[in-house]
Amino acid sequence: MNRNLLHKVSDAIAGVAVAFRTQRSFRIQVGIAAALPVVLAWLRPPPVFWALCLAMAMLVLAAELFNTALEKLADHLHPEDHPAIGAVKDCSAGAVLLVCAGAGLVGLLTLVVVLTE
């Protein structure tokens, strides 16, 4: 089906809303991402660190959306416990963990740069 851009954007927003309603970790990450511009304005790092921090925040949210989608699909297709499904879900959660670790490192580096200026 060839849908117009407005419908596609509407579907994407609906997906974000589903994750926000159903995933506590996504709500926490959205809260952190929303607070990030305030913290960056207070710290006043160089513009490149603004870009890095905001990009990492969006990557964390995107990774969480992919994780949520994969978990919902796996649970729908195979609701019973199964080692292979568990491994898939664990790998997906691991991907979110790695992106969050990268975001944390960028945040730490930003603090080091600001505090040593």
pLDDT above 80 for 1: no
* One-letter-per-residue 3-state SS of 20-81: HHHCHHHHHHHHHHHHHHHHHHHHCCCHHHHHHHHHHHHHHHHHHHHHHHHHHHHHHHCCCC
User: Which amino acid, 42?
Assistant: W
pTM assigned to the model: 0.91
Give the domain ranges of the chain.
5-115
Query: 21 — phi, psi (to 5°)?
Result: -70, -35
pLDDT tens-digit map of 7-32: 999 999 999 999 999 999 999 999 99
Q: Report pLDDT for 2.
A: 72
pLDDT tens-digit map of 48-87: 999 999 999 999 999 999 999 999 999 999 999 999 999 9
Rounded-to-integer distance, Cα 116 and Cα 44, Å: 13
CATH of domain 5-115: 1.10.287.3610
